Chain A
Amino acid sequence: MSERFRIAIVGSGPAGLSAAAHAARLGLSHVLIEKTGHLSDTIYKYQKGKHVMATPSQLILRADLEFEAGKREAVLGTWDSMTAAAGVNVRYEAEVKSIVGTGEAIAGSVQRIVTRKRDGTSDTTEVQRMAPPYRMTLANGDVVVADTVILAIGTQGNPNLMGCPGGDSAHVQYQLDDPAAYNDEHIFVIGGGDAGIENALGLAVDAAQGNVVTLVNRSAEFSTAKDANVKALMAARDAGRISIMAETTTRAIEPGWVVLDTRDGEVRARCDRMIARMGSAPPRGFVEACGVEFASSDRLAFPKLSAVFESTAPGIFVVGALAGYPLIKHCLNQGHDVVEFINGNTQLKPADEPILEAKFVGLPGRRSVAEWLEYLRTNVSILEGMSALQMREFMLDSEARLYRAGEVVFERNAPGSSLFGIAEGQVLVEVNAADASVTVPLGRGAIFGEVGLISGRRRGATIRAASDCVLVEISRTAALKLMSAVPAAQREVTRVTTERSLLQIFKAGLTPADLTDVIASAKVETVRAGQAIIKEGETGDDIFIIQSGSMIVEKAIGGKPVFLSYVPAGSYVGEMAVIDGGPRTATVRAAVKSDVIRLGGAQFRALLGAKPGLLARLREDMASRTQLNNFIESKKDSFGGVVEMYTGVANFLVDNGVGEATDVLLIDEKLCVGCDNCEKACADSHDGLSRLDREAGRTYAHLHVPTSCRHCEHPHCMADCPPNAIHRGATGEVYIDETCIGCGNCQRNCPYGVIRMDKVPPKKPWLISWLLFGQGPGPGEPDAKWLKAKAKPETPKKAIKCDMCTGQSGGPACVRACPTGAAIRVSPEQFLSVALMDRGGE
Chain B
Amino acid sequence: MALRTRGRNSGRTSGRAVTRTPRDTAHEGFLAHAGYRWLKVAVALSVLAVAVYVLTDPTPRPNGGTFAGYLLGTIGAVLIVWLSCLGLRKRIITAGPYSLKAWTSAHVWLGLSLIVIGTLHTGFQLGWNVHSLAYVLMMIVIISGLYGIVVYARLPAQMSANRGEATQPQMLEALRALDRQLDMAAQPLGKDETDLVRLSLEQCDVGGSLWERLRGAYPGCGNGRARDAVQGLVNAQMRVGKPDPRLTQILFLLERKDAALAQARRHTAMKTRLDIWLYVHVPVTFALLAALVAHVLSVFIYW
Contact = CB atoms under 8 A, between A and B. Distances in A.
A669 B156 contact: yes
Interface string A690-710: 000001111100101000000
B171 to A, nearest CB: 10
Given A821-B33, A822-B27, A685 B93 contact: yes
A235 B16 contact: no
B90 A817 contact: yes
Contact of B3 (A401, A408, A414, A704): A401
Nearest to A697: B165
Contacts of A697: 165
B165 to A, nearest CB: 5
5 contacts: A402-B3, A737-B9, A816-B98, A820-B104, A824-B25
Given A671-B156, A739-B9, 8 more contacts: A410-B15, A459-B15, A685-B93, A702-B161, A767-B91, A809-B97, A810-B97, A811-B97
A464 to B, nearest CB: 11
Interface string B71-88: 000000000000000001
B15 A821 contact: no
A455 interface: no
A70 interface: no
A704 B165 CA distance: 9
Contacts of A702: 157, 160-161
Contacts of A727: 9, 11-13
Interface stretch (A627-635, A676-684, A749-757): A676-684
B82 to A, nearest CB: 16
Interface in B258-282: 271, 274
Interface stretch (A378-386, A547-555, A728-736): A728-736
Contact of B17 (A413, A737, A811, A813): A413
Interface stretch (A147-155, A198-206, A256-264, A825-833): A825-833
A411 interface: yes
A805 B271 CA distance: 29
B55 interface: no
B160 A239 contact: no
B209 interface: no
A399 B12 contact: yes
B15 A409 contact: yes
A412 interface: yes
Contacts of B14: 414, 730
B100 A673 contact: no
B51 to A, nearest CB: 32
Nearest to B9: A737
B18 A819 contact: no
A104 interface: no
A670 B103 contact: no
B192 interface: no
Interface string B1-32: 11110001101111111101101111111100
A816 B97 contact: yes
Given A239-B177, A414-B13, A826-B25, A670 B101 contact: no
Interface string B98-122: 1111011000000000000000000
A824 B11 contact: no
Given A698-B165, A819-B100, A824 B17 contact: no
Contacts of B28: 821
Contacts of A680: 91, 93
B90 A414 contact: no
Contact of B152 (A767, A817, A820): A820
A730 B177 contact: no
Contact of B25 (A235, A404, A831): A831
Interface string A561-592: 00000000000000000000000000000000
A813 to B, nearest CB: 6
A685 B91 CA distance: 11
Which are the 4 A-B pairs with shortest beta-carbon distances? A410-B15, A669-B160, A810-B97, A808-B95
Given A238-B177, A810-B94, A820 B160 contact: no
Interface centre among B4, B91, B164 (most CB of A within 10 A): B91
Interface residues of A, number: 77
Contacts of A737: 8-9, 11
A361 interface: yes
Contact of A830 (B25, B164, B180): B25
A620 B90 CA distance: 50
A816 B160 contact: no
Contacts of A771: 88, 91
B96 interface: yes
Contacts of A670: 27, 29, 156-157, 160
A696 B16 contact: no
Interface string A652-696: 000000000000001011111110010011001100000000011
B155 interface: yes
Interface centre among B12, B15, B160 (most CB of A within 10 A): B15
A411 B17 contact: yes
Contacts of A695: 167-168
A285 to B, nearest CB: 35
A767 B26 CA distance: 31
B240 interface: no
A410 B93 contact: no
A728 B14 CA distance: 11
Nearest to A409: B15
A411 B159 contact: no
B298 interface: no
A415 interface: yes
A473 interface: yes
Contacts of B274: 673-674
Interface centre among B4, B18, B97 (most CB of A within 10 A): B18
Interface in B53-76: none
A238 B184 CA distance: 12
Contacts of A830: 25
A365 interface: no
A59 to B, nearest CB: 16
A475 B12 contact: yes
A361 B1 CA distance: 12
A724 interface: yes
B301 interface: no
A824 B2 CA distance: 39
B30 A819 contact: yes
A811 B26 CA distance: 16
Interface in A708-723: none
Contacts of A731: 18, 20
A825 B91 CA distance: 21
Interface in A437-477: 458-459, 473, 475
Contacts of A459: 15, 17
Contacts of A239: 177, 180-181
A820 B15 contact: no
A704 B160 contact: yes
A501 interface: no
Contacts of A108: none
Contacts of A674: 156, 159, 271, 274
Contacts of A826: 25
Interface in A334-377: 361-362
Given A724-B11, A817-B93, A817-B100, A669 B157 contact: yes
Contacts of B93: 680-681, 684-685, 779, 813, 817
B92 A767 contact: yes
A702 B27 CA distance: 12
Nearest to B274: A673
A215 B25 CA distance: 47
Interface in A776-827: 779, 805, 807-811, 813, 815-822, 824-826
B29 A671 contact: yes
Contacts of A361: 3
A162 B235 CA distance: 53
Contacts of B27: 666, 668, 670-671, 821-822, 824, 839
Contacts of B12: 399, 418, 473, 475, 727
Interface in A395-438: 399, 401-402, 404, 408-416, 418
